[in-house]
């Protein structure tokens, strides 16, 4: 006869296993700061943390600057180059869209691969003309689609309206002394 453990015994065993797991397995907790680019009232936002690359334009500049974030403060971004800028001096940020980049790479590769396979096949089988007009149109369309996707793979977020910047520190809160 097989005995099933009672509900209270299962709860006790699962509690013991959870406690052992939390004490045996070290949990590494680090204070992490995030630079949040958000549109108020919307769910969509972008999170950057130290080590992320940031393309930004400061007030009075005409070109974007690319730098890697080393540290984030309440109102200042520190970069690996030693430079630091205040949050309120950033007027625009370029943000990459991964799906458009992947789609662009895929369609470009598909376009070049399609014409390559067709030309290679026509050369092997002695079929003329080597460059088929229909194949050129299809392959050209795929390559043009790849270039269009490349154009839309980054978007410029203008800070102020509607996008805003803020730094969120997810570190441990300070302990307040009660006197």
- pLDDT tens digits along 50-86: 888 889 999 888 899 899 999 888 888 999 888 889 9
163-177 burial, b at 16+ Cβ within 10 Å, e below that, comes to bebebeeeeeeeeee
Q: Mean pLDDT over all residues of the chain?
A: 84
Take residue 175 and report the two structure tokens written for it. 């302990």
Q: What percent of the chain has pLDDT over 90?
A: 27
How many Å from the N-terminal Cα to the C-terminal Cα in the chain?
A: 63
- The confidence band for 39, taking pLDDT boundaries of 50, 70 and 90, is confident
pLDDT at 161: 80
Region 100-123 average pLDDT: 93
pLDDT at 28: 46
pLDDT at 29: 45
8 A C-beta contact, residue 49 and residue 69: yes
pLDDT at 4: 64
**Angle, CA 29 vertex, CA 28 and CA 30 arms, to 5°:** 120
pLDDT at 179: 55
pLDDT at 3: 63
Beta bridge partners of 68: 53
Residue 173 has pLDDT above 80, yes or no: no
pLDDT at 135: 92
ω into 129 cis (within 30 of 0): yes
Whole-model pTM: value is: 0.61
8 A C-beta contact, residue 93 and residue 54: yes
Q: How far apart are CA 35 and CA 55, in angstroms?
A: 13
8 A C-beta contact, residue 67 and residue 80: yes
Residue 129 has pLDDT above 90, yes or no: no
Residue 136 has pLDDT above 50, yes or no: yes
- The confidence band for 127, taking pLDDT boundaries of 50, 70 and 90, is confident
Residue 139 has pLDDT above 90, yes or no: yes
């Amino acid at each position: 006869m097989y005995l099933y453990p009672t509900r209270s015994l299962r709860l006790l065993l699962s509690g013991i296993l959870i406690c052992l797991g939390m004490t045996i397995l070290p949990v590494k907790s680090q204070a992490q700061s995030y630079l949040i680019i958000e549109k108020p009232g919307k769910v969509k936002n972008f999170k950057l943390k130290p080590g992320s690359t940031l393309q930004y334009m400061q007030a009075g500049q005409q070109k974007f600057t690319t730098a890697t974030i080393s540290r984030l403060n309440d109102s200042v971004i520190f970069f690996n180059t030693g430079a630091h800028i205040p949050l309120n001096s950033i007027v625009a940020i370029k943000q990459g869209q991964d799906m458009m980049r992947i789609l662009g790479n895929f369609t470009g590769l598909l376009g070049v691969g399609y014409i390559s396979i067709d030309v290679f096949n026509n050369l092997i089988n002695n079929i003329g003309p080597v460059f088929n007009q229909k194949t050129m149109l299809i392959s050209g369309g795929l390559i043009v689609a790849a270039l269009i996707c490349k154009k839309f793979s980054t978007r410029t977020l203008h800070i102020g309206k509607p996008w805003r910047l803020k730094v969120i520190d997810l570190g441990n809160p300070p302990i307040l002394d009660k006197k």
